[in-house]
Structure 1
Amino acid sequence: MNGNVENPVLKSTTELVGRLLLVGLFLLSGFGKITAYTATAGYMTAMGVPPAVLPLVIAIEVLGGLAILLGWKTRIVAVLLAGFTLLTGVVFHHDFADQIQMIMFMKNVSIAGAFLLLAANGAGRFSLDARTRRLS
């Protein structure tokens, strides 16, 4: 058997599960910010970020996470979330003398890398993007 033969169901299922795993953090974080709005605004202020941007951050995390999960406008949203993830890493995890902050920064870099792979390859067969292409 040729090692290059793909199993389309396995590939499509893996793409869907990968998207779910990738955005789980964003969905939990976004909803967590809603339930702890005042505390989150205070933390942002302490980090030099105006709390007025908190609604935008929540929208990016929740709506962007849902878009990736559903595979809607995946390439565009993935690029936007990669930039957002890098920006939050720089703003909130820039104390590289602290090993935990360095690890958190590298986590953000890794997540951004996953989003860029998603932007390059698309959401796959089990997505609204693929459904839209099939209906066109």
Structure 2
Amino acid sequence: MPISMVTIAGRSLLALLFILAGVAKIAGPKPFLDHMAAHHIPGVLLPLVIALELGAGLALLIGWQLSFAAGALALFCLATAFGFHLDLADKAERTLFFKDLALAGGLMVIAATAWRG
């Protein structure tokens, strides 16, 4: 399979994660607002999170402004890791923490590759 097909498939899989997360937040915001409140994150930020997940996720999917979209999502993943998943004594939270770091790393690679052209 040509490298461009692999790249598009990889970007699509990453984008799907964010697009579906944004849609889930629109469909049922209460659990997300409760989770944010439990971590002292203002609920007023939820619409911005949804816009980022949908907007940057769709941009990642179609390959538009990749360095900015992937960079924004990478920063979001880092913020999520450090804002929500710092209870590293809890195995599930530790897994989510490192998953967010890994996603951020992959998105940074996309951003850096796109930046170079």
Relative to total residues, which structure has the larger helix share, 1 or 2?
Answer: 2
Q: 1:39: Cα distance to partner?
A: 2.5
- List per-residue Cα deviations over 1:22-67 (Å, max 9, x = no partner): 1111111110000111222122111111100000000011111000
Q: Which of 65, 70, 73 is the equivalent residue of 1:78?
A: 70
Q: State the one-letter code of the partner of 1:104.
A: L
RMSD: 1.5
Alignment partner, residue 118 of structure 1? 110
Q: State the one-letter code of the partner of 1:113.
A: G
**Distance (Å, rounded) in 2 between the aligned partners of 1:39 and 1:107:** 21
SS of corresponding position for 2:2: helix
Alignment partner, residue 109 of structure 1? 101
The within-5 A match list for 1:83-102 is 83-102=75-94
Q: Which of 36, 46, 54 is the equivalent residue of 2:28?
A: 36
Q: Does 1:61 align with 2:47?
A: no
**Distance (Å, rounded) in 2 between the aligned partners of 1:43 and 1:102:** 17
**Distance (Å, rounded) in 1 between the aligned partners of 2:88 and 2:21:** 23
Alignment partner, residue 50 of structure 1? 42
Q: 1:87: Cα distance to partner?
A: 0.4
**Distance (Å, rounded) in 2 between the aligned partners of 1:21 and 1:39:** 24
Higher gyration radius (CA): 1
Q: 1:77: Cα distance to partner?
A: 1.4
Q: Which has the higher contact order (CA 8 A, sep 6+)?
A: 1
Number of residue equivalences: 116
For structure 1, list consecutive stretches of 5 or more residues without a partner in the other structure: 1-8, 124-129, 131-136
SS of corresponding position for 2:41: coil
Q: State the one-letter code of the partner of 2:74.
A: A
SS of corresponding position for 1:105: helix
Identity, in percent, stands at 38
